[in-house]
Amino acid sequence: MTLTQVFPETGAQPDISSAYAWPVHGTWVRAMMVMSLDGAISGSDGRSGSISSPTDRLIMKQVRSFSDVVLIGASTMRAEKYSPMKVLPEILEERRSQGLDDASVTAIVSASLDLPWELPVFSESYRQPIVITTSICDEAAAIEASKHCELIRVTDINSNPGAIVDVLTDMGLKRIVCEGGARLLGDLTKAGRVDEFDVAISPTLANNGQALLHADFDAPQKLKLAHVLQDEGFLFTRYLRADSAKSA
Ligand SMILES: NC(=O)c1ccc[n+]([C@@H]2O[C@H](COP(=O)([O-])OP(=O)(O)OC[C@H]3O[C@@H](n4cnc5c(N)ncnc54)[C@H](OP(=O)(O)O)[C@@H]3O)[C@@H](O)[C@H]2O)c1
C-alpha cells in the first residue's frame, strides 16, 4: 500500500486512523461507499467487493472499528451477506476509553422483514443485530424476526427516514456508518441526515447502471471536500455536508 494525500497537501504520509477520525460529540452519520468510474456501486456479481481494493477494505475496517453502529438497507444485507462485527482485541481498550461498547452493532432497515435469518450475523454477533421496520409490518414476519434480532418498529420510515437516525441516537448509538445501499442512502440524504460522504472512486468501469444513491432532490446539494487520498489508482474522498453546523 502506498497511500498518499492529494488534498489537502501536507507532504506527509496519511495515517488512516486520523484521516477517518470520528467527531467526539453528538450524532454523526457517515456514508461509506465505493463507486466505479461509471457510477456503479457493485460489479457484475451484484456485490461491491469486486470494485473494491485492500486499502478500501482497510479504511472501512478503521471506520467501523470506532463506530457504534453499521447501518445498511435490507437489500445490501441480502446481496452482501454481512458477517458478525468483530471484537478486535487490539482496539478494545481504545474503544472502551472512548465510551464505546466492545463491538459495533449491525442495524438493518427493512419493511418486508424478508432477511436471511440463517446467517451467522444473527446468531453469532457480540450484540444481536437491530432491525428497524415500520409499525405496519406483517405480524407473523415480526414474530419470526424477533427470534433473530432486536426488532424496532418506527411509525413511518418511508415518509420520515430521519426517524431511523433518531431511533439509533435514542439507543445511544451516535457514531453511525451507513454502508448503503443506494435506496437507504438516498432516503437519508434527502432527509438531510447524512453528515459526511466517504466515497472511494475505483478505477473500474462496471457497466451495471447502479448509482451511488437514489434520491430526487429539489436542488443540488453542496458538499465540502475534506480530503483526497490515493492508492493504486483508487481515490478516497471525504466530503462533509456544507450546511452542517457540526464539524468532524
Ligand atoms: N458500493 C458500495 O459501497 C455498496 C455499499 C452497500 C451496498 N452496495 C450494493 O447496493 C445494492 C443494494 O442497494 P439497494 O439500493 O438496492 O438497497 P438498500 O438500500 O441496501 O436496501 C433497500 C431496502 O432496505 C429497506 N429500506 C431502505 N430504506 C427504507 C425506508 N426508508 N423505509 C423502509 N424500508 C427501507 C427496504 O427493505 P425491504 O425490501 O426488506 O422492505 C428496501 O427494499 C447491492 O447490490 C449492494 O451490493 C454497494
- Are 221 and 190 contacting, i.e. CB atoms less than 8 angstroms apart? no
In a domain, 113, yes or no: yes
Q: Is 199 in the pocket of ligand 1 (CB under 6 A)?
A: no
Establish if 7 belongs to a structural domain. no
**pTM given for the model:** 0.96
Q: Where are the beta strands (DSSP E) in 37-112?
A: 69-73, 105-109
Helices (H), 66-103: 74-80, 92-97
110 assigned to some structural domain: yes
How many angstroms is it from 42 CA to the middle of ligand 1? 12
- Say how far apart CA 39 and CA 36 lie, in whole Å: 5
87-90's contacts with Cβ under 8 Å and 24+ in sequence apart are 87/126
Q: What is the CATH number of the domain that holds 149?
A: 3.40.430.10
Burial pattern 18-33, b for ≥16 Cβ within 10 A else e, equals ebbebeeeebbbbbbb
> In this predicted structure, which of 179-188, 203-212, 222-231 has the lowest mean pLDDT?
203-212
| Residue 158 CA from chain centroid, whole number | 19
For residue 6, the CA-to-ligand 1 centroid distance in Å is: 32
Is there an atom of ligand 1 within 6 Å of 104 CB?
Answer: no
Q: Is the CB of 181 under 6 A from ligand 1?
A: yes
- The domain of 98 spans 26-215+223-241
- Does residue 108 form part of some domain? yes
DSSP class of residue 30?
A: E
At 15-26, the pLDDT tens digits run 999 999 999 889
Total domains in the chain come to: 1
The residue whose C-alpha atom lies closest to atom 3 belonging to ligand 1 is 33
Can you tell me the mean pLDDT for 152-162? 92
Q: Is 212 in the pocket of ligand 1 (CB under 6 A)?
A: no
Q: Is residue 17 part of a domain?
A: no
Task: For residue range 44-65, list pLDDT tens digits in order.
Answer: 888 999 999 999 999 999 999 9
Using most ligand atoms within 8 A of CB, pick from 33, 48, 109 the residue to mutate for ligand 1: 109
Which cell numbers hold the place of 104? 459495533
Q: Is residue 192 part of a domain?
A: yes
Cα–Cα distance for residue pair 191/185, rounded to 1 Å: 10
16 within domain boundaries: no
In a domain, 20, yes or no: no
164: pLDDT strictly greater than 90: yes
DSSP 8-state code for residue 5: E
Residue type, 177: V
Q: Check: CB of residue 129 under 8 Å from CB of residue 149.
A: yes
**Cis peptide upstream of residue 23 (ω within 30 degrees of 0):** no
